[in-house]
Amino acid sequence: MGHLGVLLFLLGGLGALADICEIPQVDSKLVERLGQRLLPWMDWLSLEHLNPSIYVGLRLSSLQAGAREAFYLHILKLSYQRSLLGLTFNDDNSDYQDKPSMGQLALYLLALRANCELVEGRKGDRLVSQLKRFLEDEKKAIGHNNKGQPHTSYYQYGLGILALCVHQKRLHDSVVGKLLYAVEHEQHLHQGHLSVDTVAMAGLAFTCLEYSNLNPNRKHQITRAIENIREKILKAQTPEGYFGNVYSTPLALQLLMKSSMPGVELGTACLKARAALLASVQDGAFQNALMISQLLPVLNGKSYVDLISPDCEAPRVMLEPVVETPSPPQEVIRVVLKVPSVSPPYINSISVPAGSSLEDVLKKAQKLRGFMYGTQNTLSGPFLTSVMGKESGEREFWQLLRAPDTPLLQGIAEYTPKDGETIELRLATW
């Protein structure tokens, strides 16, 4: 090979490299600061606040919480098994409502796998059957003609398939088929615009199935669906570099990472997404524990699919709790709170200290009378379920917007309105 040949060969090699989605290491102090935000959550041990996603995120990260982490898994097991398998001491029906949902059960199974456990034995079999039953029910809700919708969401449907797959539990082709259909006929996944989170989760489930070859009859369809999803996600990249938005980028990267797409500048797209993510981490955009738990694996080059064979011996840095210094008293700001979709419509200007969350604004408005709201705790934090006594119905939700028409990217506990801002609560469908 002449000089020119060598040069072309090297350039070709570099080009091929650029097609692979790789996330180079990030500053370890930045990662540690993110991990530290999870620690207070690990002291919150009621069933309502237990969050298997936090455990999964930590185990797939470069960080550990030592005895705290082990204790957290122990409590997760006690609480989840008790409420799922009915191993309660006072067996009344009152805690029925506390039963974990399909997605929560799936995350619990991921947490077990993150500790290198496989669901086995009588208890394990019952958990697996329960998750399979959930998926069968959802399959029925979607229906033979695929016209229906799952009771939960396609996000949870994908999560359920992924969790069984990392435990090498086989699902009927028809259950996988519903998710394949939804991805192929995108409009079934969402109304309006693409939910990058949902397709990324489906992609993670399919990647696990492809790797484990659990549904050989669907092999080609699965491979095509993964390609299709990768293309969709790449198309959803914003000028700043996010796939979808800042909060869907971690799951999108979990899917794209380590993959390659011939003829596509995947490497460049991923580096751009990484840069955008790091800038927003530095800006403090990652306060939510669930979001941090989806991001930490990415910063350690891992994805949920790695739970097929997790590395439980990998060295991880011990997290030290930080002592928060109380912030000095803040100036007062005014936020306009608006609820046009009730009659009579509600509008009021609320004064709160700068840096208050939207939840603080809602609390203050309620205290001042004339405003009412209700929340339900979820793995993402408090979810607004009712406003002025009006509960959101089936496939409805109380959407949070900054006037005139910008949906917020954070929930009521994290969003901090600025002085003079107008926040609208709008009953919307999804």
Residues that bind ligand B12 (CB under 6 A): 101, 103-104, 107, 152-153, 155-156, 195, 197-198, 245, 247-248, 251, 288, 291, 294, 378-384, 397-400, 407-412, 414, 430
Q: Is 430 annotated as a binding residue?
A: yes
Q: Is 155 annotated as a binding residue?
A: yes
Q: Is 154 annotated as a binding residue?
A: yes
Residue 329 DSSP label: P
Nearer to ligand B12, 191 or 309 (CB): 191
For the bound state, the minimum distance from the C-beta of residue 99 to ligand B12, rounded and expressed in Å, comes to 11
For the bound state, the minimum distance from the C-beta of residue 66 to ligand B12, rounded and expressed in Å, comes to 26
For the bound state, the minimum distance from the C-beta of residue 362 to ligand B12, rounded and expressed in Å, comes to 10
| Length in residues, the chain | 430
For the bound state, the minimum distance from the C-beta of residue 166 to ligand B12, rounded and expressed in Å, comes to 16
Q: Is 399 annotated as a binding residue?
A: yes
Q: Is 366 annotated as a binding residue?
A: no
Nearer to ligand B12, 18 or 365 (CB): 365
Residue 284 DSSP label: T
Which residues, in sequence order, are CB contacts of 252 under 8 Å at separation 6+? Answer: 196, 200, 233, 236, 243, 244, 273
Q: Is 408 annotated as a binding residue?
A: yes
Residue 324 parent element (H or E): none
Torsion of CA 23, 302, 36, 118, to 10 degrees: 180
**β-sheet with 390-391: strand ranges across:** 373-378, 381-387, 390-391
For the bound state, the minimum distance from the C-beta of residue 291 to ligand B12, rounded and expressed in Å, comes to 5
Nearer to ligand B12, 260 or 380 (CB): 380
Nearer to ligand B12, 156 or 215 (CB): 156
Residue 220 parent element (H or E): helix 219-235
φ, ψ of residue 111 in degrees (nearest 5): -65, -40
Nearer to ligand B12, 399 or 422 (CB): 399
Nearer to ligand B12, 18 or 142 (CB): 142
φ, ψ of residue 41 in degrees (nearest 5): -65, -30
Q: Is 152 annotated as a binding residue?
A: yes
List % helix, strand, coil for the chain (3-state, nearest 5). 50, 15, 35
Which residues, in sequence order, are CB contacts of 351 under 8 Å at separation 6+? Answer: 332, 333, 334, 364
Which residue matches tokens 């979001």? 291
Nearer to ligand B12, 301 or 374 (CB): 374
CA distance 91 to 166: 32
For the bound state, the minimum distance from the C-beta of residue 126 to ligand B12, rounded and expressed in Å, comes to 19
CA distance 242 to 246: 6
Nearer to ligand B12, 99 or 123 (CB): 99
**Beta strands 396-402 and 390-391: pairing type?**
unpaired
Helix-helix angle 66-85:102-114, to 10 degrees: 140
Which residue matches tokens 């949870």? 156
Alpha carbon separation from 75 to 125, 129, 256, 318, 420 (Å, rounded)? 20, 22, 33, 21, 44
For the bound state, the minimum distance from the C-beta of residue 255 to ligand B12, rounded and expressed in Å, comes to 12
Q: Is 400 annotated as a binding residue?
A: yes
For the bound state, the minimum distance from the C-beta of residue 184 to ligand B12, rounded and expressed in Å, comes to 19
Q: Is 197 annotated as a binding residue?
A: yes
**Amino acid, single-letter form, for residue 227:** E
Binding site listing: 152-156, 197, 245, 294, 398-400, 408, 430
Please report, in range form, the residues annotated as the binding site for cyanocob(III)alamin. 152-156, 197, 245, 294, 398-400, 408, 430
